[in-house]
Amino acid sequence: MVLSGKRILLIISGGIAAYKSLDLIRRLRERGAEVRPVMTRAAQEFVTPLAVGALSASHVYVDLFSREDEQDVGHIRLARDCDLILVAPATADLMAKMAHGLADDLASAVLLATNRPVLLAPAMNPQMWANPATRRNRATLEADGRHFIGPMAGEMAESGEAGIGRMAEPLEIVSAVITILDPAPKPLAGRTAIVTSGPTHEPIDPVRYIANRSSGRQGHAIAAALAKLGADVTLVSGPVTIPDPQGVTTVHVERAEEMRDAVVSRLPADIAVMVAAVADWRVASSADQKIKKQPGEAPPPLQLTENPDILKTVGHHEQRPKIVVGFAAETQNVEANGRAKLERKGADLIVANDVSPETGIMGGTRNSVRIISHQGVEAWPDLDKDEVATRLALLIADKLAEETAP
Ligand code: C5P
């Protein structure tokens, strides 16, 4: 497991996002990390030391002046006896204390005494985050070498207010922890992946084509996220306006048939993630020359024929990758259609989303997905497409590790 043997000192400070720290503890431990929690007084108003202790299977340190806590390890050892200190959530108040070197409780004393890397996951009201004082403190802490993950844009749990201030999701935080502890984390090292992305263009004649609104953002982000985890990634991209992702071999195609050929020719692979919005139909016989408009003549009929289903081809291929992931862009019955697709296409996971125009997902930067597998359905919150990609890449790495476990 990627975090086996790693000791994380988790400082939970007092904000509503503290409830997410419970999930964070679980996510860290399931990757092999040992989690030792410290809670501020305010944090205990949001989650109980009992819950934190049970999930971490550790003593919970709460008090600088407790003889029991001090006799157990003492704040200096607590500060040093770990591979990384993670502050999640990090409140504006704790950031201010850190920036100024204050140490009037256990959390701030540990942070002042440590010589370990420190990662902060701030969470606060957007106004507090935007306040010049917080901005100064952040700049000071960054100059001091402290790492940050988030905060993210989104709705605040307590007020429903929108803006930047939401704590990063637990899996993003885990991914940041992995990156800091091992700048070259390679849970997918030695694995090969094929990703499709973008739309396809199906020619009517040399200048006209049938297309769709796919931007390629989600597929490109997934290719980049898999590469970051060490996979050798080939991205087969339809025509898009966004740049090729770094660290990935990108093959550019136009038509569904070209995309199918590019994908199949790169099998075998360990992972296939088919994100492209492949056109279901193409023009049966596209014209070699531009079709001329003739005055007084009726518009030419367009005879369509079915395109190859690339996901289905890969899902049933004799060189089927170990993990096959498809997407299901639906405007109704998202879950039922997703489940049906899982079976029909021979996929292990279907990432289902509602692409009704009012969601703004198609062509937008955010995504709200449900992960459908043979084990059940998991709904993810509304996330940036990069965050969806990071989570999906980690999920794929976990599944692949399970698949190939002795
Ligand atoms: O059937 P539908 O198009 O909704 O299925 C979506 C999934 O199948 C996506 O993962 C998409 O990339 C893939 N697909 C494909 N080839 C097609 C149509 C869809 O790979 N011709």
CATH number for 307:
3.40.50.10300
Same domain, 198 and 160: no
Identify which of 196, 201, 218, 278 to mutate to test ligand 1's pocket (most ligand atoms within 8 A of the CB).
278
β-pairing, 349-354 with 84-90? unpaired
Same domain, 233 and 356: yes
Answer yes or no: is 155 within a domain: yes
Same domain, 231 and 261: yes
| 327 CA from centroid of ligand 1 (Å) | 7
What residues does ligand 1 touch, defined as CB less than 6 Å away?
196, 256, 274-276, 278, 307, 309-311, 326-328, 341
Answer yes or no: is 89 within a domain: yes
CATH number, domain of 166, equals 3.40.50.1950
DSSP letter for each residue of 326-354: EEEEESS-HHHHHHHHHHHHT-SEEEEEE
Closest CA to 184 of 240, 150, 230, 225: 230
What is the C-alpha to C-alpha distance for residues 186 and 247, in angstroms, rounded to an integer?
A: 14
Q: CA-CA distances (angstroms) from residue 186 to 81, 182, 325, 395?
A: 25, 9, 20, 14
Spatial CB neighbours of 189, under 8 Å, sequence gap ≥ 6: 230, 231
| 218 CA from centroid of ligand 1 (Å) | 14
What was the pLDDT predicted at 69? Answer: 65
DSSP helix/strand/coil, 208? coil
What was the pLDDT predicted at 34? Answer: 97
What was the pLDDT predicted at 155? Answer: 75
What was the pLDDT predicted at 89? Answer: 98
What was the pLDDT predicted at 345? Answer: 97
Q: Phi first, then psi: what are they for 8, rounded to 5°?
A: -110, 125
Mean pLDDT, range 84-97, rounded to an integer: 98
Answer yes or no: is 68 within a domain: yes
What is the C-alpha to C-alpha distance for residues 75 and 63, in angstroms, rounded to an integer?
A: 9
Residue 137 known to be catalytic: no
What was the pLDDT predicted at 71? Answer: 65
Same domain, 85 and 28: yes
Answer yes or no: is 2 within a domain: no
pLDDT in tens, 41-83: 999 999 999 999 999 999 999 987 776 666 667 788 889 999 9
Q: 367 falls in which pLDDT band (50, 70, 90)?
A: confident
Same domain, 223 and 143: no
Q: How far is CA 183 from the centre of its chain?
A: 18
Same domain, 384 and 299: yes
What's the mean per-residue pLDDT of the chain? 92
What is the C-alpha to C-alpha distance for residues 222 and 383, in angstroms, rounded to an integer?
A: 14
**Is 90 exceeded by the pLDDT of residue 393?**
yes
Least confident of 31-35, 37-41, 188-192, 357-361: 357-361
**Is 90 exceeded by the pLDDT of residue 360?**
no
Closest CA to 392 of 239, 228, 240: 228
Same domain, 258 and 222: yes
What is the C-alpha to C-alpha distance for residues 17 and 37, in angstroms, rounded to an integer?
A: 16
Q: CA-CA distances (angstroms) from residue 45 to 53, 61, 195, 343?
A: 15, 15, 45, 46
Q: Where are the alpha helices (DSSP H) in 162-290?
A: 170-181, 217-228, 256-264
| 341 CA from centroid of ligand 1 (Å) | 9
Same domain, 162 and 234: no
Same domain, 216 and 134: no
Last residue of a domain, one of 148, 181, 214: 181
What is the C-alpha to C-alpha distance for residues 117 and 345, in angstroms, rounded to an integer?
A: 45
Residue nearest to atom 5 of ligand 1 (CA): 328
**Is 90 exceeded by the pLDDT of residue 117?**
yes
Answer yes or no: is 1 within a domain: no
Last residue of a domain, one of 181, 208, 229: 181
Residues forming beta bridges with residue 282, ordered by sequence position: 305
Answer yes or no: is 317 within a domain: yes
Boundaries of domain holding 280:
192-404
Same domain, 275 and 175: no
DSSP helix/strand/coil, 65? coil
What ranges make up the beta strands (E) of 188-337?
192-197, 202-203, 209-210, 232-237, 249-252, 271-274, 281-283, 304-306, 323-330
Same domain, 142 and 229: no
Identify which of 194, 333, 345, 367 to mutate to test ligand 1's pocket (most ligand atoms within 8 A of the CB).
345
Same domain, 160 and 285: no
Domain count, the chain: 2
Q: Which atom of ligand 1 is nearest to the CA of 311?
A: 20
Cis peptide before 239 (omega within 30 of 0): no
Answer yes or no: is 355 within a domain: yes
Selected catalytic residue, list 115, 125, 131, 212? 212
| 278 CA from centroid of ligand 1 (Å) | 6
Identify which of 237, 310, 355 to mutate to test ligand 1's pocket (most ligand atoms within 8 A of the CB).
310
| 393 CA from centroid of ligand 1 (Å) | 19
Cis peptide before 268 (omega within 30 of 0): yes
What is the C-alpha to C-alpha distance for residues 65 and 332, in angstroms, rounded to an integer?
A: 58
Answer yes or no: is 186 within a domain: no
**Is 70 exceeded by the pLDDT of residue 157?**
no
Last residue of a domain, one of 155, 181, 207: 181
